[in-house]
Amino acid sequence: MTELTRRLRTTDAVVVGLSAMIGAGVFAAFGPATAAAGAWLPVALAVAALVAWCNAISSARLAAVYPASGGTYVYGRERLGDLWGFLAGWGFVLGKTASCAAMALTFGAYVAPGHERLLAVTAVAALTALNLAGVHRSLPVARILVAAVIAVLIAVIVAGTSGGLHLSAGGPVVSPWDVLQGAGLLFFAFAGYARIATLGEEVRDPARTIPRAIPIALTITLILYAAVALTLLGTLGPARLAAATAPLAEVGPEWLGPVVRVGAAVAALGSLLALILGVSRTTFAMARGRHLPAGLDAVGARGVPHRAEVTVGVAVALLVLVTDLRGAIGFSSFGVLVYYAITNASALTLRPDEGAPRRWVPITGLAGCLLLAATLPLPAVGAGLAVFAAGAVLWFVRARRV
């Protein structure tokens, strides 16, 4: 069986998680989330954070037991059965491929409006080539991108709070369902810590490293997001924030706006880098399990799954040419939430001697994922259900042939 090289330390794994989470979502998600949740945005953020934290704990405990490439594709197969593992991998690969397209389009839109598709395809090709050089060589780039984005977010927070915050209860009237919808939209900005688990076969001492790296990355992200949310509400107000297309660029002095736009482009690039990395590893694991074409499980001379990398890069480039940003995000969110629902269901089967989390953690995560998935727009839910149904049919056809 082909094996990957273990090179990543705790700090490397944290950087991978941060580069996936602190991406374009933080620059784009707060406006639509506020349009849904209004002044209750902090509550929506807390709900999204709670679900994300439960998912992270379940992922970390499972990754320590199964330190192999593939994440929940592996956990579902081992704990729930082959079908559930396949559906997790199926949802992750398709959903995150759509997310890659969304990040590429976001990058293109910020850098060259009107030519975003061409620039997005160029970015996908360049980052795929970078990942082909080896994950250890892409990490220095990820560190630079993460540092730049965090610096921009801190600048926005400082500029917005320098004159004091003025929180108000203005804006649209919302219901509890609206708040949950806001949480579902914000969850898209959190979904990235799974990238650490999907790299389990390339992490040194995974039983110790992964359970440490996932909570660290998520905690840093939550602190930044909470500060940004309060800053936006306190400076723009709920109504203005809900209507803003680039809310972070409207905070602070005029000179900060262009800086924020550059930061958003850098963030999209960082997310795209980590997303291509994670999707290719799950594709590699599914091919090794014979749920995808066997040729995709090849490992090149540099110790990377080069055929999976190229296949994912081509798929993302094709999606960039045929989809739009909103559709890609909605479909991706549904796939990711179902993926984490299977993660939590798998964690429920862990025994105490395997490091099982407290039962309320995976139960809350499972219920939260299903609830937030239900709040997504109907087209996204319908398309997601159709894709998972198609995946189940493919699995049954394959099972009958084996």
Residue 389 falls inside a structural domain: yes
Percentage with pLDDT > 70 across the chain? 86
**Which residue type does 89 have?**
G
Range of the domain at 126: 10-401
Mapping DSSP to helix (H, G, I), strand (E, B) and coil, where does residue 8 land? Answer: strand
For residue 81, is pLDDT > 90? yes
28-41 pLDDT per residue, tens: 778 888 888 988 99
pLDDT at 59 over 80: yes
Cα separation, 136 vs 258, whole angstroms: 32
Which of 172, 348, 148 minimizes the C-alpha distance to 266?
148
| Banded pLDDT at 385 (limits 50, 70, 90) | very high
pLDDT digits (tens, 9 = 90+) for 243-252: 877 788 888 8
Between 315 and 11, the higher pLDDT residue = 315
Once rounded to an integer, what is the mean pLDDT over residues 51-59? 90
Is the per-residue pLDDT at 46 higher than 90? Answer: yes
With 70 as the cut, is the pLDDT of residue 21 above it? yes
pLDDT given for residue 36 in this prediction: 85
Kindly tell me the burial class for residue 367, based on how many C-beta atoms sit within 10 Å of its own C-beta (0-12, 13-18, 19 or more): middle
Give the highest mean pLDDT range of 128-142, 295-309, 359-373: 359-373
- The pLDDT value recorded for residue 264 is 83
Domain assignment present for residue 352? The answer is: yes
Is 318 part of any domain? Answer: yes
346, 89 contact by CB (below 8 A): no
pLDDT score, position 350: 95
Q: What is the CATH number of the domain that holds 162?
A: 1.20.1740.10
Indicate if the pLDDT at residue 364 is higher than 60.
yes
The total number of structural domains that make up the chain? 1
Mean pLDDT of 50-65: 88
Q: Is residue 227 part of a domain?
A: yes
Q: Please tell me which residue, 172 or 314, carries the higher pLDDT value.
A: 314
- What pLDDT score was predicted for residue 108? 81
Mean pLDDT computed over 381-386: 91
Q: Of 96, 63, 10, 35, nearest to 279 (Cα)?
A: 96
In a domain, 3, yes or no: no
Instruction: Render pLDDT for 269-322 as a digit per residue (tens, 0 to 9).
Output: 877 877 787 788 778 877 777 777 777 777 766 667 778 888 888 989 998 888
Encode pLDDT of 196-235 as tens digits.
665 655 666 666 777 778 788 888 888 999 999 999 998 8
Domain membership of residue 46 (yes or no) is yes
What dihedral do alpha carbons 347, 349, 352, 357 form, nearest 10°? 20
Q: Is the pLDDT of residue 100 over 70?
A: yes
Predicted confidence at residue 348, as pLDDT, reads 95
Is 171 a residue whose pLDDT tops 70? no
Top pLDDT among 359 and 110 is at 359
Report which of residues 59 and 370 the model is more confident about: 370
- Spatial distance between the Cα atoms of 350 and 151, rounded to a whole number of angstroms: 40
- Asked whether residue 316 is domain-assigned, the answer is yes
Q: Which range scores top for mean pLDDT: 18-27, 43-52, 204-213?
A: 43-52
From CA 390, how far away is CA 73, in angstroms rounded?
Answer: 17
Q: Are 202 and 8 in contact (CB under 8 A)?
A: yes
User: What is the CB neighbour count within 10 angstroms for residue 293?
Assistant: 12
Q: What is the pLDDT of residue 6?
A: 58
Q: How far apart are CA 344 and CA 82, in angstroms?
A: 16
| Higher-confidence position of 60 and 78 | 78
- Quick one: tokens of 23? 């991406």
Q: What confidence score (pLDDT) does residue 361 get?
A: 95
Instruction: Answer whether residue 2 is part of any domain.
Output: no
Residue 113 pLDDT exceeds 90 = no
- Mean pLDDT, all residues of the chain: 82
Residue 48's alpha-carbon distances to 55, 79, 119, 132, in angstroms, are: 11, 26, 32, 34
Dist. CA 396–CA 39, nearest whole Å: 47
